[in-house]
Amino acid sequence: MTRKIFILLPFFFSAALFAQQNSPGNSVPRKFALVIGNGVYTGLGRLANPVNDANDMAAALADMGFTVETVLNGNLEQMESAVLRLKDRLSVSRESYGLFFYAGHGVQSAGDNYLIPVNANIPNENRLRDRAVSVQTVLDDLNDAGNSLNIVVLDACRDNPFGWSRSGNRGLAVIGHQYADSIIVYATGAGQRASDGDGRNGLFTSQLLKNIKTPGVEVKEMFNRTGADVSAASGRQQIPAIYNQFFNTAYLVSPPAVFETGTANIATGSLEIITITAGTVQIIGTAINQSIELPAWGHLPVEKINAGNYRVIMYYEDGRTEEKAVEVGRSESSKLEFSYRPAPVPVQPAPVPKPKREKNTDNINTRFNSLGATLGTTFTAPLLIATLHGTYAPWRYSFLEIGLDLGMLSALGGVGYYSLYPFVRYSAFYPFTGRIGMYAGIGGGYMAARYKFPKGNVSANTFAADFTAGFNILNFFNISYTVRTDFRGGVNNKLSAGYTYRFKK
C-alpha cells in the first residue's frame, strides 16, 4: 500500500480530515489525531480563535472515529512530546491513519515554517530552530512512523508577531519537502494572510467544519467545496491553495451508498433520496425490494431506475417510520426528502461544581512569600517592639506568617522591659488594586517577658493569642495593628510599620 500524507495549512490552523480508500474489502483503519490550539501567548497578546478551532476540530474528529489528544496553549516541551506520542501510536500498525492539527501563531524563516509555543522567548530569527516547533520536523516524524496515511493541518497564516523577520515575508512558506501521496492545503495563498473571521472560528476553519463530516464525499472534492465556500464568503479576497500529490480515492466519513437497481430496461429515470435523520431506507417497486443504511443528512442517488411507481420507506432507530410514494418517469429525475427529526432528549442541567481553592500561581499571590521586619510601639507604654517575620502563601489570597517579636528596653524612671514572643499567624489578603491590599488574621505563640523596676522584678511566661490587621502598599511597605492577650486580663496593643521583601516566581 502506498503512503498518503495530507498536509493542510489553513488559517488559524484549522481542521483535518481522515479518509478511507473506496476499495472493496478494506478494513477500517485505526485513526489517531493530535490537535494543538495556542491562543494565550506570553508577550504576544491573545488570539481569539485558535483554542475554539482546536476544540471544535477535536470534537469533529472524535465523532469521525479518531482517538484524539488535545493540547491547549502548549509550551515547546508539551508540543514536541505530543508529536512523538502520535508517531509512536501510528508506528504500531501500518494500516493506521494519523492527523496533526495546529491552530495559533506560525512564522516562516529562510523557507521553513515554525509553530510558536505560548511561552516562546524568541529575541531574533536565529533562535527559531531551538525555541519553536519545525513543521518539517513534524512531517519527518510522521513519515518515519511508517503508517499508510497522514494528514497535517496548519492554520497559522498570519503576520510575524515578533517584527524581527529579515525577509519581512507574510504568512507561511510552501513546505520544503512534500512526501509522495500528499495533499497540502493553505487557508490562503502562500505568503498571504488569512482572515480571522467574525465568529467563533477563523474563516477557513468555519467553512471546513461545515464540510468535513459530509458522508459520501471524496476527500479532494471536500477540499474543493471548502475552498469554494471560503472564496465566496470572503468576496474572493481569500483563495485557499491546494497542492495535490494524492491520486487515489479516499473518503472522510464513508463512501457513497451503492444501490442495486436490478436489470434496467430502456425506459429508465433517476431517483434522489435525502434524509435528515439516520435510518434505513427501503425502496419497493418494479423488480426492486431493497434496503440500505443512510446516515444523518444522507444522500442516495439511484441512477437508471426503471420507470414506474415506487414506495419508499424510512425506518428510524426510535421506531418511527416515514413513507412516501413516487412515480419515476422515463428520462426524468425524481427527488424525495424525508424530514423527520426525533424529539430532543431533555438535558438535565449539570451540577454546578464547588469552586476549588486556587493554588498560588501568580505575582499577586506569590508576593506573600517574603521576609521582613517592622518597628512598632504599644499603646499602653512607650515600648519599642521589633518584629522579624517570614510568610508563605499556600492558597490564593491567603498566607501563613511565622515571626518573632522582640521587646526593647525603655529607660523611663529606671524601668526596663524585655520580651520574646515567637508566633504563628494565618491571614487572608483582600486586594484593592494590583499593588495595594488589606490583610487580617489570627495567631498565637508563647510570651516570655521580664519587667525590671528600681526595686524588684516581674516575669511573665504564658501562651498568648493575637489578632492583626493591616495594609500592604506597593508590595514592600506594611502598616499593621495588633491586639494580643494572655487570657489572664493582660492586653497589649501594637501599631507597627516596616519593610518586607517579596519573593516572586
Average pLDDT over every residue of 188-210? 79
The mean predicted confidence, pLDDT, of the chain is 79
Least confident window among 270-274, 412-416, 432-436: 412-416
Cβ within 8 Å of residue 23, ≥6 positions away: 249
Report the C-alpha gap between 319 and 31 in whole angstroms: 32
pLDDT at 365: 40
pLDDT in tens, 437-462: 888 999 999 988 877 766 667 777 88
In this predicted structure, the answer to whether residue 6 has a pLDDT above a threshold of 50 is no
The answer to whether the beta carbons of residues 154 and 113 sit under 8 Å apart is yes
Q: Is the pTM of this model over 0.75?
A: no
Least confident window among 145-149, 160-164, 177-181, 337-341: 160-164
Which CATH topology does 4-22+29-251 take? Rossmann fold (3.40.50)
- What is the helix (H) or strand (E) element at residue 421, kind and residue range? strand 416-431
Determine the 3-state secondary structure of 78 from DSSP.
Answer: helix
pLDDT at 76: 95
Cβ within 8 Å of residue 346, ≥6 positions away: none
Cβ within 8 Å of residue 409, ≥6 positions away: 416, 417, 418
- Confidence band (pLDDT; 50, 70, 90) for 38? very high
User: Which is higher by pLDDT, 393 or 258?
Assistant: 393
Domain residue spans of the chain: 4-22+29-251, 268-338, 363-503
pLDDT in tens, 405-424: 888 766 555 667 778 889 99
* Cell numbers representing residue 263 in the block: 436489470
Cβ within 8 Å of residue 137, ≥6 positions away: 83
In this predicted structure, the answer to whether residue 312 has a pLDDT above a threshold of 80 is yes
CATH of domain 363-503: 2.40.160.20
Most confident listed range (282-296, 309-323, 362-376):
309-323
Q: The domain 268-338 belongs to what CATH superfamily?
A: Immunoglobulins (2.60.40.10)
Residues of the chain with pLDDT > 90, as a percent, come to 20
DSSP code string of 301-332 = EEEEEESEEEEEEEEETTS-EEEEEEEEPTT-
Least confident window among 75-84, 116-125, 152-161, 316-325: 152-161
* Cell numbers representing residue 126 in the block: 536565529
pLDDT at 359: 46
Cβ within 8 Å of residue 358, ≥6 positions away: 395, 396
Report the C-alpha gap between 77 and 285 in whole angstroms: 63
268-338 and 363-503: same fold? no
pLDDT in tens, 491-500: 888 888 998 8
CA torsion 218→222→224→229, rounded to 10°?
160
